[in-house]
Amino acid sequence: MNQQLSRPKIILDTDPGGDDAFAFLWLMSLVKKELAELLAVTSVEGNVNAKLTFTNACKLLQLNNFSDIEVGRGVIKTQKEIDHAAHIHGNDGLGNLAQTLPSPQQSYENARYSDDILIEKLTAFPGEITMIALAPLTNLAAAETKSPGILKQAKEIIIMGGAFNVAGNVTPEAEFNIAYSPEAAEIVFNNSNHLVILPLDVTRSLIFRPEMAQKISEVNPESNITQFILALAQAMTQTSLSHRETQGIEGFLVHDAVTLAYLFYPETLQFCRARVEVEVVGKLTPGKTIFDRRHHAKIEANAWVAQQVNSANLFAAFVEDLKTLVRY
């Protein structure tokens, strides 16, 4: 069967971030294979501060010869419920490897704010843009607040975030991206019904192991991208083991990569439809994501929520696509 499918138009909302970087690399490999079109990258403060996430996004684009793609500077959240995650991702957000990457050609001081880019692109391509959100939802909420109804112009919004039947990773109940700004998550959840949510329930099984990085490196050991992948995997593995994130298995969790699996390899995931909400005022549970599992009729669902993932097939696609990236 010959299917002529249009390439998805994508905006990547990200706070690189070690696992963000691997998702970013996966996306760029798919763009290089002409399977996707990356319209813009909107950086967000989260794993590290806004200037570092902007710089890291620019460096990753530069490393892969995508320096012409605009990067937005993140909307600053003045009050933060939780701290940055530099203790996981390194002081620079990239395992303290940012200095090994090319210097960015874009200036943080002169960059447009991410919410303005989101509004512009969603207005220009109504119903066409897939937003991939790997970070706190600050930019998306800011865009919706500034231009009410703008999020409904997205084809879909793919969110790595939340925890439903498992413990949180920054509090007993909450996952980092949602806990960083529960108010922002509430705005997004309440103003779109085209959400795809990929929570810790599925990402906790996505352990990227050293032998996977080695398989990628065998294709082109001298590539700058190869060297970065190897070094970042090693750095992330060390911190993941020290924080007991992988049950003692050598490797690290590539939470954010699951968003690309949903979009390009949907057979690796199973979902249920639900009305997802977030706790914003609880004393012990701010940032907790919930949906009603009781067996009765439900209306006004806003999201597809991932329930299961085939990690073996996901990683088979992930590794093979990254191999194509280092060949260039």
- Percent of the chain at pLDDT exceeding 70: 96
pLDDT at residue number 317: 97
Specify the pLDDT at position 84.
73
DSSP sequence for 279-325: -SS-SS-TT-EE---SSS------EEEEEEE-HHHHHHHHHHHHHHH
3-class SS string, 94-115: CCCCHHHCCCCCCCCCCCCEHH
Q: Regarding the domain with residue range 9-327, which homologous superfamily does it belong to in the CATH classification?
A: Ribonucleoside hydrolase-like (3.90.245.10)
Per-residue confidence (pLDDT) for residue 95, from 0 to 100: 84
Tell me what pLDDT residue 5 has: 65
Residue 58: both structure tokens together: 């620019």
pLDDT score recorded for residue 242: 80
Instruction: Dump pLDDT digits (tens) for 79-130.
Output: 666 767 667 777 888 988 888 899 988 999 999 999 999 999 999 999 999 9
In tens, the pLDDT along 259-274 reads 999 999 999 999 999 9
Q: Is the pLDDT of residue 212 over 60?
A: yes
Percent above pLDDT 90 for the chain: 79
If pLDDT is split at 50, 70 and 90, which confidence band does 218 have?
very high
What gap in Å lies between CA 95 and CA 227, rounded to an integer?
13
**Catalytic-labelled residue, pool 89, 255, 295, 296:** 255
Can you say whether the dihedral through the CA atoms of 211, 95, 245, 54 is positive or negative?
Answer: negative
Q: Could you tell me the pTM of the whole model?
A: 0.95
Which tens digits make up the pLDDT trace of 17-47? 888 999 999 999 999 999 999 999 999 999 8
Instruction: Provide the 10 A C-beta neighbour count for residue 100.
Output: 15
Determine contact, residues 232/18, Cβ cutoff 8 Å.
yes
Q: Of residues 77 and 197, which shows the higher confidence score?
A: 197
Residue 3: pLDDT band (50, 70, 90) is very low
CB–CB of 191/152 below 8 Å?
yes
pLDDT higher than threshold 60 for residue 132: yes
Judge whether 194 counts as a catalytic residue.
Answer: no
Q: Around 264, how many Cα atoms within 13 Å sit in the side-chain half-sphere?
A: 29
pLDDT in tens, 144-194: 999 999 999 999 999 999 999 999 999 999 999 999 999 999 999 999 999
Contacts of 3 (CB under 8 A, 6+ apart): none
Query: According to the model, what pLDDT value does residue 1 have?
Result: 35
Can you give the pLDDT at residue 320? Answer: 96
C-alpha to C-alpha distance for 161 and 261, rounded to whole angstroms: 15
> In angstroms, rounded to a whole number, what is the distance separating the alpha carbons of residues 205 and 222?
31
pLDDT of residue 306 exceeding 80, the answer is yes
Answer yes or no: is pLDDT of 77 > 80: no
- Average pLDDT along the chain: 93
pLDDT at 245 over 80: yes
Q: Which residue has the tokens 């319209």?
A: 39
Bridge partners (DSSP) of residue 37 are: 9
Q: How confident is the model at residue 57 (pLDDT cuts 50, 70, 90)?
A: very high
Provide φ and ψ at 13, rounded to 5°.
Answer: -105, 115
- Predicted local distance difference test score (pLDDT) of residue 279: 97
First CA to last CA distance, the chain? 30
